[in-house]
Each structure stands twice: as structure tokens, then as C-alpha cells.
Structure 1
Amino acid sequence: MRFEKLLLMLVAFCFVPCMPVFAQESKETGGAKEAQSSQPAKDLKPFTTIDPTIPLDQLKIMVRPLTKQELQVEADAWFKLLRNKARQIAAARLGVKKTNEAISTDDDQQALESLKKAESVQKTADKMAKETEEELVKKAQENLGVDVAVDAAKPDQTEAEKTTAEEQVAGSSETADTEKTPAPEVDSTPTHTAEVMKEQFLVNLTKLQDERTALSDRLEIVLTSLALKGGDVETYRKYIAAVSGIELDTSDASATWSGIKGWIISKEGGQRMTWNVGKFIATLLITWLVARIGSGVVRWILERKVRLTQLAENLISSTIKNIILLIGFAVALTALEVDVTPILAAIGATGLVVGLALQGTLSNFASGLMILINRPFDVGNVVTAGGITGTVRQMNLVSTTFRTFDNQTIHVPNNSIWNNVITNITANKVRRVDLEFSIGYDDDFEQAEQIIKEVLEENELVLKDPAPVVITHALADSSVNIVCRPWAKTENWWDVKTAVTREVKRRFDQAGISIPFPQQDIHVYSAETLTGKNATLTHK
């Protein structure tokens, strides 16, 4: 109920004072200028610091409607809280150092002086932090017109009872401050007192580090909203980075172990990291499942509704899967409290440079799109493209992968494929087998034709329709050539070619039909013969 009241008052605070401003500027400038708060910057007071432990989600709601000037005031207020918390941590660390000095010295007087200095520094830092927090809470209460301490009391309490409750709260705060550094025992030695104070300093240090982390988170929410509205937040964030984390003194084993153990069991340390890692892993697993299911659904739709090529289906489904995985990974990084905004901004800023540097890749990308649109081949087709003959295995928007017949995997750029002739060898279900047999001039060509026809009729893989063609078509220099053109299913093309060739050769050998090799007749004349002929011609 308490935060509901705060949110309702926030709405009234943020929007009601701005209504006259909006109306005035709309009248004078037609709403062209951005409405600014009618309240001067020096008169603005913070109100989100009314509760330094306000939940993060509620703080995000509260800062969203604020203007740049108002957010600057809120950022300064949270920065003061963080700075004082950093001072308290520094004082606690200094206290550990002073207690170590007291433990290591043999002079009791010097040890007591070190302990007094440590206690004094811690009390001063605690007092400053408390005063700052009370001041900011008071300003926020005045700004919102509420008194959280009174509202928190029971409704049926009288004024006297409420006053008593406030005094009890103040008294408990003073008691808590006193308990941070307990007074030395009467009969204890300086060394024992120093050990007790050191342990208390270390415990207090872990608690202060948790509180510092919580304040840093709240300041970061205000800074994020301020940056979105044009504010300069670089100095604040540098300070947050400078004071964050834990510092371990390796020269002090007990302090180091206490710091590690305290970080592991702390709510803002080990527990928070464990929870974040768990969310990171869970997000990745869920993303992987969603990507797998999503790509499967897309593939099912493409197969049954759109009916694209398998190559396009694989590419589209894999692309969707990769996009889902990329988005999921970015979301998972936010679970680890990694800010992905600078990464995305850097990618956008370097997009033009990358585009110029990858002109060849973009050309391959365009060629890949053209291949997908025109569909000259699909997965499993035997293709001659880009100077490569092989089976198409897969394709992306940059290259196509072929598996050659001697089991080589070759990646061919899509640009080389699209800009050259593409021959799809297995695109059709039926192919013609082109064969040619040569016989000698002394052999019976009609008998040879009959033998070839018989071989084709006996082969079960040769199709009857279309009918095969066997005909003598050329009288070559040293042979008579007979053309054989049977038809076969595409998957049987190679079997038909080899089987028919082997059987024709065997039948020709049985029939005594020769297959001549190229030959030439060379006539040699002697010099005497040529001289005699010339003399005869001269006498005539």
C-alpha cells in the first residue's frame, strides 16, 4: 500500500504541474517545442530517494515520466548516497588496517591509539552517511507531501503513540550504529579487542558492499533514463565503475577469506551471481528449444503450404533458427547484467564500413537470392556450375557446397554460379544415352545394327518409350560409324551406358565384327624412280 500511494502521488506530481505548460506551448508554438518543467532547476527536489531500498521495478516506473532536469536532480541525490556508502566502505577497510596494526604491535598504548583512530573514522563516515540519507529522505517527503514514518504506523494510533513509535525507531537506529563497532571489554587486552573489532569491521564491510551494490543499481536506472533524454551520465558511470567490486588484501589471509566468504553468501554478491548465471543458462536452453521448434514449424509450413525447393526451405529455416538464437543470446547476456546497447550501437555504426569492405560478399548474397528465386537446382541434384560438376549438398546466401564424384567437398561462391552457365544434369526424370560404335568397311553394317538392337531389347533398364534409335550415320576415314541412342531413367543413365557398351563389344567379337582404329596409308617413292619418270617426261 505504501508504494501504491507513492506511485499515485508521482502521477499527480509529474503530470498535473506540466498541464499548464503543455497548454501554453501548444497555444504559442503549436506543440512544436518540447514541454519543460515550469519549476526552475534550483528549486527541484528529489523524491525517488524517499526510500533508498525501493524495488528496482518501481523505481523504473517512477523515473520514466521525469524530464531531463528532474532526472539530473534524482541522479545527484542517488550519487550522494552512493558516495557516502563508498566512504563508509573505505572507513571499514581502513579500520581493518588499523586493527592489524594494533594486533601486530607490542606497544599497548600504540595499539589503543590505532583502535581509537579506526573507531573514530568509522563513526564519522557512518554519521555523514546517516545525515545525508536523512536529508534526502526529508526532501523527498517534503516534495511529495508525505511522512513515511507516520504513514507506516498503524491507522488507529494516536499522535502520542506515533511520536513514541518514531522515537523508538530513532533509538533503534542509534543502537544499531553503536553495535557496528562494539566497545572493548573491560578485562580484555588490546590485542583481543583489536581482533574483535577487526571481525566486526569485516562483517560490516560485507554488509556495506551489498548496500553499495544496491545503490549502484538504483543510480544506474536513473542514469539510463537520463541518458535517453539527452543527459550526460559518463562521469557518474565512471565513478560507479571505480567504486564497484571487492578489494582483497592478499597480505591479510583472514581478511581475504572473510571477503571471499562474505561475497559468496551475500545477497548482492554470490547469490546474485548464482541467480544470474542460472537465468543465463535457462535462457539459452529455452532459446535453443524455441529455435528448434520454430525452425521445424517453418519447415513444415514451407513443405506443405508454400512448396519451395528443399534448398530454399533449408536456408529459410536455418536463418530463422540462427536469428532466434542470436536474439536469445542477447537476452541471456542481459541476465548476466551485460549492457548490450553499446554492442548494438557499435554494430550499427560500423555497418557502412563493413558493407563497403564486403562488396564481394554482398554480391554473393544477391546472387544467392536470385538462385533461390529462379530455382535452377535443388539439394541432391547433379549440377555443372561455376566450373564444378557434383551433387548439391547445401547452400547459404554466400556460397553453395558441392560433393564431387571423387568425394571432394567444394564451396563455390554464388556469384560464380549465377554469372555462368548452370547445367542441371538430374533435373529431368529421363535422359538419353548417346553412344557411337565404329566398324570396319569390310564388315556388314546391317548385321552390326541388328546386334546393337538386340542388346538394347535385352537390357531391362532401357526404356521402350521413347524408343531407342540405332542407325548408320557416317562413313569416316577408317570406319563406318553407327549411332546408338537409347533412353533411360536419370538414376539408371550410367548403368545403361556401361552395360550396353560392354555387351555390344562382346557380341561384335563373337560375330567377328572389327572395331578399327584410325589408320592412314603412306606411299614411299625412291629417288631413282622419281628421276626416271622426270627423264621420260623430258624426252617426250
Structure 2
Amino acid sequence: MRTYLVYFIAVFVPTVCGLQVLAQEAPSATTVSEPEIPTDHLSLLLDPLTKSELEAEVLGWQGLLQAKVRDIAMEEIRIRKQNAVIESKQADSGDQQTEQAEQQKRQDLEKINALREQKAALLERFDIAIEAFKEKGGEAEDYRLYADAVTGIKVQASDGQAIWSALTGWFTSKEGGIKWAKKLLSFVVVMLIFWVLAKIIGSLANKAIARSRNMSSLLKNFLDTFVKRTVLFVGLLVALSIVGVEVGAILALVGGGAFILGFALQDTLGNFAAGIMLLLYKPFDVDDIVEVGGVFGKVDSVSLVNTTIRTFDNQVTLVPNKQVWGQIITNATASHQRRVDLVFGISYSDDIDKAEEVMWQVVENHPLVLKDPETVIEVNSLGESSVDFVCRPWAKTDDYWRVYWDLTKQVKLAFDEAGISIPFPQRDVHLFQHQQEQLELQMSPAQNQPPHQHRRPDKTDPAPVDNDSGDDEGGGESSSD
């Protein structure tokens, strides 16, 4: 007897204690006692729980959801049975029985719509528990698959009344159409608020930026646009979070795709980086006359991707910022003053001092020529056809072309009035005429001359000899038969 008692104590007591320990260690769901708990309250209650406790909560909400889905399935089967009854009654022409069956069906449809609304509420809370469990390191894939599988409305495709009832029930449901209408309205309201806020903040930023004298117009325009778009982007994130979209997942997706986009958009990113450098170092500004990337014209605008230049024949050219920053940039309007370089040539027979005096008079009488820096007029070179002067007055950058064109015209008119010629390129050719006989010898050799041809003797030729009559004094012309 004592042996059995010892055996009983040795086996039963540890078993009971072990069961009690397991019962104490196994956590139970605490939030499922109130199925209609507000979602924000549920999130706060789930936050301090551990991973094992959260798994118990997930299982608890899954049990409630599973029971609700089972109720909907049973009600759906009942409605389909009602459809079969209605069809049989219509075949038997039982009007009163058919009307009763249809009335019962309408009640069942209203009941199933209420069940679907309850299921939608349980699904939302089940999703909150799954996300909390996943954040604590739990394996939530199976629970997520179950939630996706039971989501949605299943109706018989041939039952038009059931389809219409499901649609109207969803639109009028607090967890369906009404809920999403409120979210859509909240989204629109938040975006409108942030749009107005972007206008206000942009206006304040624009006033603050306008006070800076060392900032280019391009950078001011960029900062103004950047501030407004940043506020709108923040508003978009807030609006999406209000609707229920996981903003963190979107940002993680963007961050993951940035690596791939970096390879696909290398040139675009290069233009973007060059655009930032142009805005910071400001080698030119709006309305400056520049030559960049082989294009000469006036700067219309600079974005983060390209620079817009309007040529003087009114063509709009878009130059990628990568080419602008990577090549030589010539800014003709970077300084407030420019030197006008002119070259005038006079004839070698004209008076140099007089020509210089005429040019000084024209330059000094022009109202747009600056007194400081001083104008330079000097003899620069002795050309092939002319004596070349350089005339280098200074003018404001905005008056450069006006001074250039006026002085070119006025110096020409002043030279004409003073009798000073501006020679065009010319070359003197001196011709020396050879004796005719040398030309004839070169053009027609003696052996090819026809008979009876008389030629004029050259001074170096010996006098002809007449074999019959002897020597002939005097060197005249001779002929032979």
C-alpha cells in the first residue's frame, strides 16, 4: 500500500503541477472579449504585448472571424435553398407561397448583409493584430493568407436579387461604402488643407528668399517650387495614412527600387546632379546671354534636368545639364561692362593721324560709350591691302550691340566725308612683254614651221649667206625658193 501511495505521489503530483505551469505559461487572448472594440484602442492594447501574447491575440481574432464566416456560409446556403423553393413554387403557380418564400429571402438577405458587415469589422481588427504580431518578429504569413482568402463577398451569379442586395448592403454599411466615403472625403479635405498650406509657406519662403542678394533667380525659383512640392508631398503621405494605406511599405518599396532606378536612370541622375551644381554655383542666371554646349543665346530657365536657351533667331533649345556643367561656359552678360572690339582699315596712301583723329571724334560723340575705362585706338597691323586700326571702346553690357553697330556705321560715314578710303583686298600684277619671236619659238618650234615662212632675225643670229652672189652686207631678211 505504501508503495502505491509513493508511486501515486511521484506521478500524479508532478503531472498536475506541470499542467498548472503550462496553463500559466500559455497566454490567452484578452482583446477578443469586446469584438467591437475601436481600432485605435485595439492598437494601444496590443502594443505592450510580447510575441507569444500577440500570437494568442491573433488566434483569438481568427477564431471570431472563422465563426462569422461560417455563419455567413450557412446563411448563404439557406438563401440558395430559398431560391430553389421559390422556383418550385412558381412552377406550381402557388402565388401566396411564392410571396412568403420571397419575403423570407429578403429577410435572409438583410441578415447576411449584417453578418458581412460584422465580418468586415472583424477582418479589420484581425489585420491590426497580424501587423502587431509581425512587427514583433512573428511569422504572420499563414494568418495573412487566411485573411485574404475570406475577404470579399460571394454570391450566386444567377441570383440578381442577391447581387443587388449585396451591393446596396455594402454601400450602406458602416464598414463598407460609408467607411470608404468618409476616407475619400478625408483624403480630399487633407489635400486641400495642405494645398493651401503650401501656398502660404511658399509665399513666406519666397519673401524670405527675395531678401537674399547673393542668390540667383534660378535658385530662388527652384527653392520656391521645392518648398511647395515638399509640403504637398507631406500632405499626400498624411492623406494616404488617413485612408489606411501603409505609408511605410510605400517608402520601403521606393527605397528598394531606388537601387534599380539608379542604374536605369544614370544619365538622368547625372543631369540632376549637374542641375544642383548649376543652382549652387550659379555660373549664369535667367536672361543671361551664354554659350553652353555649343548653343549661343539667352537663358530662359534651368530645371534639375536641362537648361532652356532661346537663340537669337527665337529657337528654343534644351541642353542637358550634364553637357552644360561638363563643358566650357561663356557668359557674355556676367559683367556690367563689356569692351567693344572693332577693326578699321585704311589705305596705305591715307593719312594715319587724320584717320585716328576721325575715329576719336566718332567715339567721343557717341552717348553710350563709357568714359571709364578709357577707349583705346591704335595702329594694330600692316595688312596686305590696308593699315589696320583697333578701336576698343567700353559700353554697358545691355548697350553692347547698339554701340557696335553705331560705331561701325558712323566711322564708315566719317571716313567717306574725310576722304579716307577703306580698301578692299587687292593684288598688283606686273606683266613684262617678251619679244614676239621668242614667243613664236616657244609656241611653234622651227622644224614644224611651214615652207616660205618669213621670220624676223634675232640679234644674236648670224647674217644669212647667199651662195650665188657672195656676202651680203647688211643683215636683212632673206628668203629661199
TM-score range, shorter chain: 0.7 to 0.9
1:477 paired with 2:460, answer no
Letter aligned with residue 341 of structure 1: G
Cα drift, residue 47 of structure 1:
0.3
Q: Which residue of 1 aligns with 2:175?
A: 268
- Separation in 2 of the partners of 1:524 and 1:315? 73
Letter aligned with residue 64 of structure 1: D
Cα drift, residue 103 of structure 1:
1.5
Kindly indicate whether the alpha-carbon contact (under 8 Å) linking 1:399 and 1:414 is maintained by their aligned counterparts in 2.
yes
The CA deviation string for residues 408-427 of structure 1, in whole angstroms up to 9 with x for no partner, is 33332333223322222111
1:335 paired with 2:318, answer no
- Separation in 2 of the partners of 1:523 and 1:436? 30
Letter aligned with residue 355 of structure 1: G
Letter aligned with residue 201 of structure 1: D
Q: Which residue of 2 aligns with 1:120?
A: none
Candidates 307, 311, 323, aligned match of 1:400: 307
1:100 paired with 2:63, answer no
The CA deviation string for residues 252-290 of structure 1, in whole angstroms up to 9 with x for no partner, is 333232222222222112211111111111122222222
- Separation in 2 of the partners of 1:525 and 1:330? 95
Q: Which residue of 1 aligns with 2:115?
A: 208
Instruction: Give the secondary-structure state (helix, strand or coil) at the position aligned to 1:410.
Output: strand
Q: How do residues 123-522 of structure 1 correspond to structure 2 at under 5 angstroms? A: 189-247=96-154, 249=156, 251-304=158-211, 307-522=214-429
Instruction: Give the stretch that moved more between structures: 500-509 or 56-65.
Output: 500-509
Kindly indicate whether the alpha-carbon contact (under 8 Å) linking 2:89 and 2:97 is maintained by their aligned counterparts in 1.
no
- Separation in 2 of the partners of 1:317 and 1:77? 53
The CA deviation string for residues 5-29 of structure 1, in whole angstroms up to 9 with x for no partner, is xxxxxxxxxxxxxxxxxxxxxxxxx
- Separation in 2 of the partners of 1:378 and 1:451? 40
Kindly indicate whether the alpha-carbon contact (under 8 Å) linking 2:198 and 2:231 is maintained by their aligned counterparts in 1.
yes
- Separation in 1 of the partners of 2:300 and 2:44? 53
Instruction: Give the secondary-structure state (helix, strand or coil) at the position aligned to 2:374.
Output: coil
Q: Which residue of 2 aligns with 1:30?
A: none
Instruction: Give the secondary-structure state (helix, strand or coil) at the position aligned to 2:420.
Output: coil
Q: Cα distance 1:488–1:249, how it changes in 2: closer, same or farther (>3 A)?
A: farther
Cα drift, residue 60 of structure 1:
0.7
- Separation in 1 of the partners of 2:437 and 2:247? 99
More helix by share: 1
- Separation in 2 of the partners of 1:529 and 1:376? 74
Q: TM-score, normalised by structure 2?
A: 0.79
Cα drift, residue 247 of structure 1:
4.2
Instruction: Give the secondary-structure state (helix, strand or coil) at the position aligned to 1:90.
Output: helix
Q: Which residue of 2 aligns with 1:75?
A: 58
Cα drift, residue 499 of structure 1:
1.9
Candidates 20, 38, 44, aligned match of 1:61: 44
Instruction: Give the stretch that moved more between structures: 528-537 or 242-251.
Output: 528-537
Gaps of 5+ in 1: 1-37, 112-187
Kindly indicate whether the alpha-carbon contact (under 8 Å) linking 1:277 and 1:335 is maintained by their aligned counterparts in 2.
no
- Separation in 2 of the partners of 1:473 and 1:101? 113
Cα drift, residue 107 of structure 1:
7.8
Q: Cα distance 1:520–1:230, how it changes in 2: closer, same or farther (>3 A)?
A: same
Instruction: Give the stretch that moved more between structures: 276-285 or 516-525.
Output: 516-525
Instruction: Give the secondary-structure state (helix, strand or coil) at the position aligned to 1:379.
Output: coil
Instruction: Give the secondary-structure state (helix, strand or coil) at the position aligned to 1:47.
Output: coil
Q: Which residue of 2 aligns with 1:172?
A: none
Cα drift, residue 199 of structure 1:
0.7
Letter aligned with residue 141 of structure 2: E
- Separation in 2 of the partners of 1:538 and 1:61? 135
Q: Cα distance 1:261–1:366, how it changes in 2: closer, same or farther (>3 A)?
A: closer
Instruction: Give the secondary-structure state (helix, strand or coil) at the position aligned to 1:470.
Output: strand
Q: Cα distance 1:54–1:513, how it changes in 2: closer, same or farther (>3 A)?
A: same
Letter aligned with residue 98 of structure 1: K
Moved over 4 A (4+): 38-42, 247-250, 524-539
- Separation in 2 of the partners of 1:302 and 1:386? 30
Q: Cα distance 1:501–1:273, how it changes in 2: closer, same or farther (>3 A)?
A: same
Cα drift, residue 381 of structure 1:
1.8
- Separation in 2 of the partners of 1:341 and 1:375? 37
Letter aligned with residue 422 of structure 1: I
- Separation in 2 of the partners of 1:369 and 1:538? 92
- Separation in 2 of the partners of 1:103 and 1:524? 127
Kindly indicate whether the alpha-carbon contact (under 8 Å) linking 1:440 and 1:514 is maintained by their aligned counterparts in 2.
yes
Cα drift, residue 75 of structure 1:
0.6
The CA deviation string for residues 446-492 of structure 1, in whole angstroms up to 9 with x for no partner, is 33333333332332222222232333322211112222212111111
Gaps of 5+ in 2: 1-20, 443-457, 463-481
Cα drift, residue 39 of structure 1:
7.4
Q: Which has the larger radius of gyration?
A: 2
Q: Cα distance 1:95–1:521, how it changes in 2: closer, same or farther (>3 A)?
A: farther
Letter aligned with residue 198 of structure 1: K
Q: Which residue of 1 aligns with 2:15?
A: none
- Separation in 2 of the partners of 1:39 and 1:322? 57
Higher relative CO (CA 8 A, sep ≥ 6), structure 1 or 2?
Answer: 1
Instruction: Give the stretch that moved more between structures: 45-54 or 77-86.
Output: 77-86
Q: TM-score, normalised by structure 1?
A: 0.71
Instruction: Give the secondary-structure state (helix, strand or coil) at the position aligned to 1:416.
Output: helix
Cα drift, residue 104 of structure 1:
1.5
The CA deviation string for residues 374-433 of structure 1, in whole angstroms up to 9 with x for no partner, is 332222222222222222233334433322222333332333223322222111111111
Instruction: Give the stretch that moved more between structures: 461-470 or 523-532.
Output: 523-532
1:90 paired with 2:73, answer yes
The CA deviation string for residues 480-537 of structure 1, in whole angstroms up to 9 with x for no partner, is 2222212111111111111222222333334443322212223455675795899999
Q: Cα distance 1:284–1:538, how it changes in 2: closer, same or farther (>3 A)?
A: farther
Cα drift, residue 305 of structure 1:
5.5
Letter aligned with residue 319 of structure 2: V
